[in-house]
């Protein structure tokens, strides 16, 4: 009879494997150990395919591209972590911000003023988007995704109608043109400037997150929005501020990235795709994950295009798929 009862009970399904589970320390060690070994073998193989100078140039190319992605991905992951909104209009914010920057540079000749005007303009666009479009459908995931996708198409078509469809780089300041010679190694000044900007902005973001009252509210809101609201904090104002700040970074990225990636129709979806890869690999809702993700994505993109250009997208998205299987939260994502 006992055997009959046992046979009548359906077998329980095994939970999906997650190398980040706290009850699997051995799995975690195997994951990180295997990742380090694989990385070492990959670096060794790359060094056998190119000279040290070429390796350094490609590494800096990847880091400079990753620096642009950091401005996008940090805002994207902040918005998702706090508001649980997958803002697919972030690429549209980037594109419009870049085109506004072009107009300001042409009118004033001041690149840095263009960065400020573009970032503030897109921040105001983010305010309107959050207050007017997204707030009425807060918590409805599918309508939110569809609305932000539709907004991207609207922004892309408006950009095409206003600024045309020709690839257009943003003019750089004279002192950032040309190359810098460091002990015989020659590299563009502007790309080094982009990397430096990302380091400075990243340091400011980490400081704000860890040391300020607003950062504490954001971290608390990411972990438990209901409790934060119950404590009397205006969580809607925090949401709006986070969305505006993410849009500000997207507008800033449009100018700083448009100066060496150029701007053209369709680039909004391209940069959005890379930003999504960053936050999936690094982990949604994690600023540290965004920083790690941009380094990984930037280096993979640079070396993949240099060594195996016909498989450049495969080399980027295959590791992303593997990480999703083994660590669904991403490398440093919040639980």
pLDDT at 119: 96
Percent helix, strand and coil across the chain, each to the nearest 5: 75, 5, 20
C-alpha distance from residue 131 to each of 32, 125, 236 (Å) = 42, 10, 10
Name the nearest CA neighbour of 309 among 319, 297, 318, 300. Answer: 300
pLDDT at 10: 46
Tally DSSP H helices, then E strands, for the chain: 13, 2
In the predicted structure, residue 37 carries a pLDDT above the cut 80: no
DSSP at 129: I
> Tokens 């060496």 label which residue?
260
In the predicted structure, residue 25 carries a pLDDT above the cut 70: no
pLDDT at 91: 92
**Euclidean distance between CA atoms 235 and 138, whole angstroms:** 13
- 179-182/185-188 β-pairing: antiparallel
**Euclidean distance between CA atoms 236 and 113, whole angstroms:** 31
DSSP at 284: T
Q: How confident is the model at residue 223 (pLDDT cuts 50, 70, 90)?
A: low
Q: How confident is the model at residue 261 (pLDDT cuts 50, 70, 90)?
A: confident
Q: Calculate the average pLDDT of the chain.
A: 83
pLDDT at 222: 65
pLDDT at 156: 93
The alpha carbon of residue 217 and the mean position of all alpha carbons in its chain are separated, in whole angstroms, by 22
- Decide: helix, strand or coil at residue 33: helix
Q: Cα torsion for 28, 29, 33, 36, to the nearest 10°?
A: 50
In the predicted structure, residue 82 carries a pLDDT above the cut 90: no
Look up the pTM and report it: 0.84
* Residues 6 or more apart whose Cβ sits within 8 Å of residue 155: 89, 92, 93, 95, 96, 268
Tens digit of each residue's pLDDT (9 = 90 or more) over 232-259: 777 778 888 889 999 999 999 999 999 9
**Residue 249 contacts residue 293 (beta carbons within 8 Å):** no
What share of the chain has pLDDT > 90, as a percent? 36
């Amino acid at each position: 009879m006992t055997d009959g009862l046992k046979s009548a009970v359906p077998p329980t399904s095994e939970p999906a494997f997650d190398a980040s589970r706290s009850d699997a320390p051995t799995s975690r060690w195997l994951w990180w150990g295997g990742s380090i070994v694989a990385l070492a073998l990959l670096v060794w193989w790359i060094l056998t395919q190119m000279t040290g100078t070429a390796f350094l140039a490609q590494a800096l190319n990847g880091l400079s591209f990753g620096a642009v992605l950091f401005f996008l991905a940090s805002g994207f992951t902040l918005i998702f972590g706090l508001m649980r909104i997958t803002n697919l209009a972030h690429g549209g914010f980037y594109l419009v911000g870049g085109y506004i920057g072009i107009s300001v540079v042409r009118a004033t000749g001041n690149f840095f003023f263009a960065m400020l005007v573009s970032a503030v303009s897109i921040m105001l666009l983010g305010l309107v988007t959050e207050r007017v479009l997204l707030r009425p459908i807060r918590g409805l995931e599918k309508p939110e995704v569809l609305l932000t996708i539709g907004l991207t198409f609207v922004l892309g078509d408006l950009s095409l109608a206003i600024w045309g469809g020709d690839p257009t780089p943003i003019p750089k300041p004279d002192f950032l043109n040309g190359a810098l010679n460091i002990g015989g190694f020659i590299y563009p000044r502007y790309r080094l400037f982009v990397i430096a900007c990302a380091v400075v902005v990243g340091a400011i973001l980490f400081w704000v997150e860890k040391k300020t009252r607003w950062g504490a509210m954001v971290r608390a809101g990411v972990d438990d929005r209901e409790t934060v609201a119950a404590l009397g904090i205006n969580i809607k104002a925090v949401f709006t501020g986070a969305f505006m700040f993410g849009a500000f970074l997207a507008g800033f990225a449009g100018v700083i990235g448009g100066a060496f990636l150029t701007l053209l129709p369709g680039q909004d979806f391209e940069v959005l795709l890379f930003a999504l890869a960053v936050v999936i690999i690094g982990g949604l809702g994690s600023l540290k994950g965004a920083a790690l993700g941009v380094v990984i994505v930037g280096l993979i993109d640079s070396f993949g295009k240099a060594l195996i250009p016909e498989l450049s997208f495969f080399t980027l998205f295959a590791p992303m798929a593997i990480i999703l299987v083994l660590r669904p939260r991403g490398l440093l994502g919040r639980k």
